[in-house]
Structure 1
Amino acid sequence: MSTIALTAPAAMPGAPARSSGYLVLAPSCLVLTIFFALPMGTMIGMSFMDAQTLSPTLLNYQRFFSDGLSLAGLYRTAVMSILVAVCVTVLGYPVAYYLARSRSRWRALVFALALAPELAGVVLRTYGWLIILEDRGFINDMLINLGLIASPLPLSKNLFAVVVGLTHVVLPFGILSLTTSIQGIDPNLERAAQMLGASRLSVIRHIILPLSVPGIVSSLLISFTMAASAYATPALLGGARFKVLATMIYEQVLFYIDWGFAAVMAIALLIMMLAISFLGIRYETRRGNRRSNREGEAS
């Protein structure tokens, strides 16, 4: 006589893991929904309302695209952010390489100096640059006293001053991003190239730079988004004549009480930052896929 043993089907191994994953993400999703999604939805809805009658309208968007001042502010914001991103990445790369590779006792001091700007507030740092760059500031007074110039150079209240101030503000974030990327590169690759006769410059150009592209892209994106959304530095160093979207949004809300048009400007600023971030991430993804394909073909 034979017997048949009945066993219950085994539970899906992935179900508990998925459930725990959802539970872990729940608090973050709740915070993002309350403090990001809902305000963004409110702002988008506000952009379609007339400031006087509170009725639905597209006049705010029509005004933005037909108003030369708004488009000029968008263009000025883009140019300023691109310049800041490039300056931060170029100036931060040598410091990041030193921090990632040096074993000197001065490394801790350099790291502290790189992060020192974050110990002071943005307004305080901006006023410091205002004292240095203004017409009767440190630089112009020194050049005039040395007899090198007869009249003050236009170093403040323009694009140059804003780029200098924002580069100082954002530089620590670029250095940290680049340092993390360079630390992930195997130092043995540099040693092997030098043993084969490559110079230090060739090693950096052909090994370090290509392998640190993710850090470079990250530094550019972080610097661009932080510069595009900055308000205090453009307002103080740029003056009344240099208007970017952040300062224009402030004026629309505080002085003109036009929340609908301010919402349109905020959406335009958000779309610009999201577009740049998407392009950067897309580029890095395609680059990583091409690299994986080449490694697969080589193996």
Structure 2
Amino acid sequence: MTYRSETFAVPVRAPRRRGPVLLLSPSVLFLILAFGLPMGLMLGTSFVDLSTGSLTLRHYERFLTDGLSLYGLGRTAGMSAMVAVCVTCLGYPLAYYLARSSGRVRAIVFALALAPELAGVVLRTYGWLIILEDHGVINRSLMTLGLIAQPLPLSKNLFAVVVGLTHVILPFGVLALMASIQSIDVNLQRAAQMLGASPISILRHVLLPLSVPGIVSSLLLSFTMAASAYATPALLGGAGFKVLATMVADQVLFYLDWPFAAVMATVLLVMMSMISFLGLRFEQSRRLDQHVRLERAS
């Protein structure tokens, strides 16, 4: 008699990794409660008519037809763009020095770059108010030297707000740029220098193209922080300087119009999200182009 033995393959399931899920659960829950839920309530409030309790688009129509609201949106975008450019341009040389230097001097410069974050935003803003006001340090010094006869309009305007926000956001831009510059191989600069490239050519053709991710991160971070800032525009800009953040506060505190304030906050959030999305898409497309060029060269 012949016996036939058959072997049956039993599928084995891979063990589920619950460790990452358990580690991320507290953070996700916190984001849902602290960010997702308030944003959802704000979005829902923007569609509610307080007089009837029904859903309506009247508040969005009011925002799109109100000249003051559109002016505040345009001023917010322009102010944030100016702050982003100033932070990136001023922070790039400092970030390059911190990324390429070492020793005690680097530690001192790094500490000085982050020192403004040790003080509160309101305290730093009042410091700039003392410096830039009509009888402040700058105007008083210039008038004492006889260079001007009347105080220069340095406060209560866009210039003062851009200066104050640049001072507040500059450390964050420096950190974003420094991380990108540190990832660039120093040998690339040395090779370009050995081939006869000038410092300007090295900056233009080596450093700037390779540090685009840091530049984009600095611009996006500075733009979003400036667009959502309230204390600095309110103190340095004065009562006549209106951006969306201060206009939202006015609608809540003085006019008690919560739906219209929710509309302004939603528009501000959408604007920042669109700018961030476009910036990330630009960075991804640039990385893809560099990858394609490397494959063609190889």
TM-score class, shorter: over 0.9
Partner in structure 2 of residue 228 of structure 1: 227
Higher alpha-carbon deviation: 99-108 or 149-158: 99-108
TM-score, structure 1 as length reference: 0.96
Q: Which runs of 5+ in 2 are unaligned?
A: none
Q: Which runs of 5+ in 1 are unaligned?
A: none
Q: Distance in 2 between matches of 1:254 and 1:118?
A: 29
1:297 positional shift: 1.7
Q: Distance in 2 between matches of 1:64 and 1:112?
A: 44
1:2 positional shift: 4.2
1:104 positional shift: 4.3
1:257 positional shift: 0.6
Partner in structure 1 of residue 252 of structure 2: 253
Q: Distance in 1 between matches of 2:64 and 2:200?
A: 48
Q: Distance in 2 between matches of 1:118 and 1:51?
A: 41
Aligned residue for 2:241, secondary structure, equals: coil
Which string of whole-angstrom CA distances, capped at 9 and with x for unpartnered residues, describes residues 132-171 of structure 1? 0000000000010111100000000000000000000000
Partner in structure 1 of residue 95 of structure 2: 96
Q: Distance in 2 between matches of 1:29 and 1:290?
A: 34
Q: Distance in 1 between matches of 2:134 and 2:57?
A: 44
- Contact 1:100–1:183 (CA under 8 A) maintained in structure 2: yes
For the pair 1:133 / 2:132, whether they are aligned, the reply is yes
- Contact 1:51–1:258 (CA under 8 A) maintained in structure 2: no
Q: What letter corresponds to residue 6 of structure 1 in structure 2?
A: F
Partner in structure 2 of residue 5 of structure 1: 7
1:48 positional shift: 1.0
Aligned residue for 1:71, secondary structure, equals: helix
Partner in structure 2 of residue 208 of structure 1: 207
Q: What letter corresponds to residue 27 of structure 2 in structure 1?
A: S
Partner in structure 1 of residue 83 of structure 2: 84
1:26 positional shift: 2.5
Aligned residue for 1:106, secondary structure, equals: helix
Q: Distance in 2 between matches of 1:253 and 1:50?
A: 16
Q: Distance in 1 between matches of 2:98 and 2:205?
A: 20
**Over the residues paired in the alignment, what is the CA RMSD in angstroms?**
1.3
Higher alpha-carbon deviation: 213-222 or 95-104: 95-104
- How many residues in Structure 1 have an aligned counterpart in Structure 2? 296
Q: Distance in 1 between matches of 2:21 and 2:54?
A: 40
Q: What letter corresponds to residue 55 of structure 1 in structure 2?
A: S
Q: Distance in 1 between matches of 2:195 and 2:30?
A: 54
* Identical aligned residues as a percent: 68
1:25 positional shift: 2.9
- Contact 1:81–1:223 (CA under 8 A) maintained in structure 2: yes
Which string of whole-angstrom CA distances, capped at 9 and with x for unpartnered residues, describes residues 94-121 of structure 1? 0000000012431111000100000000
Q: What letter corresponds to residue 279 of structure 2 in structure 1?
A: G
Q: Distance in 2 between matches of 1:179 and 1:185?
A: 10
Partner in structure 2 of residue 113 of structure 1: 112
